[in-house]
Every structure is written in structure tokens, then in C-alpha cells.
């Protein structure tokens, strides 16, 4: 089994983002507004890797709103 090393954790109002050393994003928590970025609105109890091919350098889950932000190394932002 490959070890996943988490470099950063960002906690939102009721959702969480994890950024791995490899640049992958894992999410879990409430998803009633689509704040997990999974393409549905199902609550995710265990962490789930987002199916995005690009590799990210930073994440932010806003603690007062249902918003998530991720940044690529090309300074392109994903906001959901």
C-alpha cells in the first residue's frame, strides 16, 4: 500500500480539505452545497480523493461559508 503524506489541512464550516505531498486533494464532511467538489451533494464520512488530473499547491476551506478553493502551480484557482 502506498503511503499518502498530508501536507496541509483546511477546515471549513462543516467540511474539510486535505492536500497531499503529491498535490492531490482529499475531502470529507458535509456536502449539502457541493463544497466538497465531488460533483454531488452527498455527505462524505471518510476522505475521498477528488478526481482532478492537475496537481495542486494550496487549499482553503472557508470557516464561515460553504466554499472551497484550490490553487495549481500555474496560479489557476478552482473555486467550488
Look at the chain and report how many structural domains it folds into.
1
At 6, list the grid cell.
Answer: 498530508
Asked if the model's pLDDT at residue 63 lies above 90, the reply is: no
For the entire predicted model, the pTM comes to 0.91
Q: What is the pLDDT of residues 22-57, one digit of tens each?
A: 999 999 999 999 999 999 999 999 999 999 889 999
- Per the structure, the complete domain to which residue 74 belongs is given by 6-79
Asked if the model's pLDDT at residue 70 lies above 90, the reply is: yes
Q: Which helix (H) or strand (E) holds 54?
A: none
DSSP state of 41: -
Flag whether 30 is in a domain: yes
Q: What is the pLDDT confidence band of residue 72, given thresholds at 50, 70 and 90?
A: very high
Q: By three-state DSSP, how is residue 7 classified?
A: strand
**Nearest partner of 4 among 45, 41, 48, 36, judged by Cα:** 48
Flag whether 1 is in a domain: no
Cβ(47)–Cβ(62) under 8 Å?
no
Amino acid at each position: 500500500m502506498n503511503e499518502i503524506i498530508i501536507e496541509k489541512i483546511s477546515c471549513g464550516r462543516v467540511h474539510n480539505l486535505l492536500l497531499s505531498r503529491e498535490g492531490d486533494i482529499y475531502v470529507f464532511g458535509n456536502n449539502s452545497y457541493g463544497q466538497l467538489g465531488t460533483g454531488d451533494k452527498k455527505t462524505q464520512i471518510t476522505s475521498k480523493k477528488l478526481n482532478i488530473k492537475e496537481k495542486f499547491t494550496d487549499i482553503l476551506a472557508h470557516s464561515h461559508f460553504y466554499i472551497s478553493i484550490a490553487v495549481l502551480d500555474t496560479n489557476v484557482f478552482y473555486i467550488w
